[in-house]
Amino acid sequence: AAGVARNDDGEVAVQGLPVSELAREFGTPLIVLDEDDFRARARAFRDAYDEAFADLGGGVDVYYAGKAFLSVDVARWVTEEGLRLDTASGGELAVARRAGVPAENLGLHGNNKSVAEIETALTLGLGRIIVDSLDELERLGAIAERLGVTGRVMLRLTPGVHASTHEYIATAHEDQKFGLSMVDDGGGAPADRAVAAALAHPRIELLGIHAHIGSQIFDAAGFAVAAQKMLGFLARVRDEHGVELPELDLGGGYGIAYTEQDTPRPPAELAAAMAGVVRETLAEHGLTAPRLSIEPGRAIVGPAAFTLYEAGVRKTVQVDHPEGTLPRRYISVDGGMSDNARPVLYDADYTAVLASRVTDSDAIVSRVVGKHCESGDIVVRDVYLPEDVAAGDLLAVPATGAYCWALASNYNYLGRPAVVAVRGGRARVIIRRETEDDLLARDMG
Ligand code: LLP
């Protein structure tokens, strides 16, 4: 399961650094990111896909989805490991630029990009801009004409796949905001109209098509169906327009283990399964292999970090059960929904361990909660933790690398936590903790 390792004293440690030392030096809540693990996961994706698709000849690019967690250092690691970077806003692009990521390695997503974001992307000469709608295609074409540049475009399509994940993070069914529909709306399918318009536009170079079916997905079937539909679409484009579009992006969405119940498949297995489907479908349509790309975010950064909290107050309540009442112990920590909104947003499950010491006291049913002014402010809904957990103990919540700091807020005027990266047995701050001065810096009163 989502893991943390202990040293000989029984204390949770990263590359030999015990959590008590990290907490003393950097404070809590603290996001501890194992840089070596992050890099290894990035490489594992790249290698797995390179190998699985090698015989198809089209090649593979792995774009790290920066939305999961991005900092200037992270953008550099990704580049050093031979990955590209997927951004989803002008802000994420700004981070990539500060990191010196070459423009041709960058993609820009977004269902409602601003004129300024499109101008920046076009002026920088981004490797690809993923266009989400007919409106946007028209807007981008006009801006490219005005600037006298050519935009390299991928079209994001909606392959109509129902990914088995939380409703808010499934993105390929018809009735949601992303992408160009492949269903005829009376005037043909928007996806077809976009292809025709893009091919006809003198300032647009149409690279290919893109689909992202959702996030935290375990079942390879959704990816397979999406791949089949997208390749079928490429075959239709060839038949109707006489062009074989050179690129196909199948998005991200690879699930990770948050608790023992989660059993994701390793990248190599997924890659092999996908390559199998792609190989068959290419043959079926007599298509040349396009260059493939994927956009994993969570699966690279999620398991590489844990959050360290300090335990505070406790209380025990009696909870009604069919067999009578049972005690549930609450442990409050010094962060909560401001540094991890996923439990409250998606009912996400996490686990927690007593990290600063070992004990032989009995494990009891516990709920780890934050310090915010809401009863929904839950960090871990149900977990067995030693009965003697007390104020000042450190708790570690594994697998918090993705969409935790990225979704962090200043609710109740809490500062966002620091992020430290551990490499070669040394920890350094890559994003510093927000201070009260930071919190007041933009208040004009
Ligand atoms: N590509 C596109 C176009 C995306 O929209 C996303 C995620 C990804 C790639 C990366 O997906 P990943 O490999 O990380 O699953 N906040 C939610 C997840 C939102 C995902 C948004 N898009 C959560 O915490 O579960």
391-422 as b/e: b if 16+ CB within 10 A: eebbbbbbbbbbbbbbbbeebeebbbbbbbbb
Task: Give the nearest ligand 1 atom to 342 CA.
Answer: 24
Task: Calculate the CA 218 to chain-centre distance.
Answer: 14
Q: CA–CA separation, 228 vs 222, rounded Å?
A: 10
Could you report the per-residue pLDDT of 339-389, keeping only the tens digit for each? 999 999 999 999 999 999 999 999 999 999 999 999 999 999 999 999 999
Could you report the per-residue pLDDT of 224-245, keeping only the tens digit for each? 999 999 999 999 999 999 999 9
**Last residue of some domain: 301, 332, 364?**
301
Task: Give the nearest ligand 1 atom to 210 CA.
Answer: 3
User: Based on the domain organization, do 289 and 316 belong to the same domain?
Assistant: no
User: Based on the domain organization, do 217 and 138 belong to the same domain?
Assistant: yes
How does residue 200 score in pLDDT terms, banded at 50, 70 and 90?
Answer: very high
**Last residue of some domain: 284, 301, 318?**
301
User: Based on the domain organization, do 328 and 356 belong to the same domain?
Assistant: yes
Instruction: Flag whether 249 is in a domain.
Output: yes
At residue 160, the pLDDT reads 87
- Cα angle 161, 170, 158 (rounded to 5 degrees) comes to 45
| pLDDT(419) > 50 | yes
CA 7 to ligand 1 centroid distance, Å: 34
Q: CA–CA separation, 19 vs 63, rounded Å?
A: 32
At residue 186, the pLDDT reads 94
How does residue 167 score in pLDDT terms, banded at 50, 70 and 90?
Answer: low
Helix (H, G, I), strand (E, B), or coil: what is residue 365?
strand
Task: Give the nearest ligand 1 atom to 253 CA.
Answer: 15
Report the run of H or E that residue 143 belongs to, with start and end: helix 134-147
- Are the CB atoms for 366 and 385 separated by under 8 Å? yes
| pLDDT(265) > 60 | yes
| pLDDT(219) > 60 | yes
User: Based on the domain organization, do 124 and 185 belong to the same domain?
Assistant: yes
Mean pLDDT of 425-437: 98
Q: CA–CA separation, 256 vs 296, rounded Å?
A: 11
Whether 344 lines ligand 1, by a CB cut-off of 6 Å, is no
Task: Give the nearest ligand 1 atom to 407 CA.
Answer: 16
User: Based on the domain organization, do 297 and 331 belong to the same domain?
Assistant: no
Whether 293 lines ligand 1, by a CB cut-off of 6 Å, is no
CA 62 to ligand 1 centroid distance, Å: 14
How does residue 1 score in pLDDT terms, banded at 50, 70 and 90?
Answer: very low
Instruction: Flag whether 46 is in a domain.
Output: no
At residue 165, the pLDDT reads 66
Instruction: Flag whether 196 is in a domain.
Output: yes
**Last residue of some domain: 301, 335, 370?**
301
Q: CA–CA separation, 80 vs 82, rounded Å?
A: 5
Average pLDDT, the chain: 95
Out of 1, 363, 373, 440, pick the active-site residue: 373
CA 279 to ligand 1 centroid distance, Å: 26
| pLDDT(211) > 50 | yes
CA 214 to ligand 1 centroid distance, Å: 7
Q: Whose CA is nearest to atom 9 of ligand 1?
A: 252
Whether 118 lines ligand 1, by a CB cut-off of 6 Å, is no
Active site residue 404: no
User: Based on the domain organization, do 245 and 295 belong to the same domain?
Assistant: yes
Mean pLDDT of 413-431: 98
- Is the peptide bond preceding residue 267 cis, with omega within 30 degrees of 0? no
Query: Please, which residues have CB within 8 angstroms of residue 298's CB and are 6 or more apart in sequence?
Result: 65, 68, 215, 216, 252, 254, 255, 256, 402, 403
At residue 161, the pLDDT reads 84
Its ipTM equals 0.99
Whether 215 lines ligand 1, by a CB cut-off of 6 Å, is yes
- CATH number for 111: 3.20.20.10
Report the run of H or E that residue 348 belongs to, with start and end: none
User: Based on the domain organization, do 62 and 202 belong to the same domain?
Assistant: yes
Whether 109 lines ligand 1, by a CB cut-off of 6 Å, is yes
Which residue range(s) make up the domain with 406?
5-34+304-440
Q: CA–CA separation, 343 vs 52, rounded Å?
A: 35
For the chain, what percent of residues have pLDDT higher than 90?
92
Cα torsion through 49, 51, 53, 54, rounded to 10: 140
Instruction: Flag whether 48 is in a domain.
Output: no
Residue 170 dihedral angles phi and psi, to the nearest 5°: -95, 135
**Residue 36 CB coordination number (10 Å):** 15
Instruction: Flag whether 39 is in a domain.
Output: no
Could you report the per-residue pLDDT of 73-97, keeping only the tens digit for each? 999 999 999 999 999 999 999 999 9
User: Based on the domain organization, do 132 and 29 belong to the same domain?
Assistant: no
Whether 212 lines ligand 1, by a CB cut-off of 6 Å, is yes
User: Based on the domain organization, do 226 and 279 belong to the same domain?
Assistant: yes
At residue 176, the pLDDT reads 87
Residues in the annotated binding site: 253, 295-298, 342, 346, 374, 403
User: Based on the domain organization, do 308 and 297 belong to the same domain?
Assistant: no
Choosing from 87, 213, 295 the residue with most ligand 1 atoms within 8 A of its CB, the one to mutate for a pocket test is 295
Could you report the per-residue pLDDT of 90-139, keeping only the tens digit for each? 999 999 999 999 999 999 999 999 999 999 999 999 999 999 999 999 99
Mean pLDDT of 184-189: 93
CA 267 to ligand 1 centroid distance, Å: 16
Looking at residue 170, the DSSP 8-state letter turns out to be B
| pLDDT(72) > 90 | yes
| pLDDT(392) > 80 | yes
Choosing from 69, 158, 215 the residue with most ligand 1 atoms within 8 A of its CB, the one to mutate for a pocket test is 215
User: Based on the domain organization, do 286 and 335 belong to the same domain?
Assistant: no
Residue 132 C-beta-side C-alpha neighbours within 13 Å: 17
CA 223 to ligand 1 centroid distance, Å: 14
How does residue 171 score in pLDDT terms, banded at 50, 70 and 90?
Answer: low
Number of domain units in the chain: 2
Task: Give the nearest ligand 1 atom to 302 CA.
Answer: 14
Residues in the annotated binding site for pyridoxal 5'-phosphate: 253, 295-298, 403
| pLDDT(2) > 60 | no
Instruction: Flag whether 445 is in a domain.
Output: no
Q: Which two tokens stand for residue 137?
A: 């295609």
Instruction: Flag whether 43 is in a domain.
Output: no
CB burial of residue 185 (10 Å; 0-12, 13-18, 19+) = exposed
Cα torsion through 433, 436, 442, 444, rounded to 10: 180
User: Based on the domain organization, do 309 and 297 belong to the same domain?
Assistant: no
Instruction: Flag whether 40 is in a domain.
Output: no
At residue 274, the pLDDT reads 94
- CATH number for 408: 2.40.37.10
Could you report the per-residue pLDDT of 16-34, keeping only the tens digit for each? 999 999 999 999 999 999 9
